[in-house]
Amino acid sequence: MAEVIEMGKISARGQIAIPAEIRREMDLQEGQRVLFVLENDTLMIKKITSQTFSQITKPLKEAMKKTNLQEKDVPELLQQFRKSKKK
């Protein structure tokens, strides 16, 4: 894959448009999911395929088996976590 460097702009709603050349190079389609990875001051966006999604979720599914946590509990836990971070 060729190196492509483009600049974007964040909208008032926090949205970023991925430049057309990058979308074409990565074959990103409307509605496709991407993964955001933040490390220090670097934000990476990774294309998610069914294979990468299963790789990402495998450790989470294994951890869930060791607890009584169920998938339906996750949204409430996320809300609690976000509230605790705002304090």
Domains of the chain: which residue ranges?
A: 30-86
Q: How far apart are CA 3 and CA 48, in angstroms?
A: 19
Using one digit for the tens of pLDDT, what is the confidence trace for 14-67? 999 999 999 999 999 999 989 888 988 999 898 888 777 777 778 877 877 888
Within 13 Å, how many C-alpha atoms sit on residue 63's CB side? 7
Residue 83 pLDDT: 83
Of 76, 68, 28, 30, nearest to 48 by C-alpha is 28
Residue 27 pLDDT: 92
pLDDT at 2 over 80: no
pTM for this predicted structure: 0.52
Residue 14 pLDDT: 94
